[in-house]
Structure 1
Amino acid sequence: MKKFFVVLTIIGLIVILNGCNGENDIDNKAIDIEETNENNEDQKVNEEKTEDERIPSINFSLPDGKGNEVSLSDYLGKVVLLNFWGTWCPSCVDKIPLIEKMSKEYEEDIEILSINIQNLPQERSVEGVLEWLDSRGFDINVVFDMDGSISNSYYVQYLPTMYVIDREGYVLGYIPGGVDEGTFRQLMENIIQ
């Protein structure tokens, strides 16, 4: 688990400049960089924290644009990656093929839920996003944050941003910006162990 936090911290530092919306101002509770120091054996990681110290994820129900509502709580027992994105964001778009590939490769262990933020003025309509995905042959699990309340609840200010939710529904951390395949694969391997 310590490897996971080290990888997550490194990813965050590497990709901070790759996003679309400026700087990320996430509450420091999400990832405590001091806890990710692999060389400090005395420090504890999330799995060793008490219930009061762990950060619970914020549950939501969002439409998928096809008449269904998808809730985060539907995925309890599975690791969930919440990928906040927009079609207008070049870094977000560049990562869709990787997200698609990883979601198929790790489908037994994780669920990647791509949350399209609809209240941004540059974003397409729900129908427009679905058509855009279809026209490019993308097959990702997408839901729509219509009023931005979910992205606000998760303090998303930088796109893409990915949150990692553990099997019990607690936030393990977040990744601002995009990642390359090698880093993504290493992250997945650390998560599912």
Structure 2
Amino acid sequence: MKMIIGILLLIAPLIASAAPSLNHLVEDVEGNKVSLSEFKGKVVYVDFWSSWCGPCRKSFPWMNQMHEQYQQQGLAVVAINLDVEIELAQVFLEQLPAQFTIRYDPESEVARLFGLKGMPSSFIFNRQGELVQQHTGFNLEQTSQYEQELVNLLEQ
């Protein structure tokens, strides 16, 4: 039993560091590794998307609206693209420009750590960098609920 507890104590920090957090590294448009921790202190809406994802096309206008409406109150919208070929993401963004931050995870390393169950997947972090909500898919009928979750966190 002591051995099992010892092993758990050794691996617990590894498991905790791999959990969805703002400490992971993704790529910017130039391919530089950047940390999501640059958004700590804000309410952060992290959205994983891909160029082939139909519901992602519906979520981008909503994310633009949320960014425009709440960025001054401390909201950061960060959309992480999972396309292996960045050119596919660029074509998508030409059709649906983003006014919020775009990052890239072409090897899906961070996506695996977040344990995506579908596309798009969104994760909401409070100002302390704690994961407080997550959604799989994007449903236009639920945008009021999504927005209310953000407003509640912004008011804290």
Q: Does 1:191 align with 2:153?
A: yes
* Aligned residue identity for 1:87: S
Matched pairs, number: 135
- Structure having the larger proportion of residues in helix: 2
- Equivalent positions of 1:32-181 (< 5 A) are 57=21, 59-108=23-72, 109-119=74-84, 125-180=85-140, 181=143
Highest RCO, 1 vs 2 (Cα 8 Å, sep ≥ 6): 1
Identity %: 24
* Aligned residue identity for 2:146: F
Q: CA RMSD in A?
A: 2.2
Q: Which runs of 5+ in 1 are unaligned?
A: 1-51, 120-124
Distance 1:161 1:91, change over 3 A: same
What TM-score results when the alignment is normalised by the length of structure 2? Answer: 0.76
* Aligned residue identity for 2:49: W
1:107 match: secondary structure: helix
1:93 match: secondary structure: helix
State the alpha-carbon separation in 1 of the partners of residues 89 and 39 from structure 2: 24
1:64 deviation in Å?
Answer: 2.0
* Alpha-carbon contact 1:81-1:165 (below 8 Å) kept: yes
* Aligned residue identity for 1:150: V
* Alpha-carbon contact 1:65-1:127 (below 8 Å) kept: no
1:162 match: secondary structure: strand
State the alpha-carbon separation in 2 of the partners of residues 137 and 80 from structure 1: 19
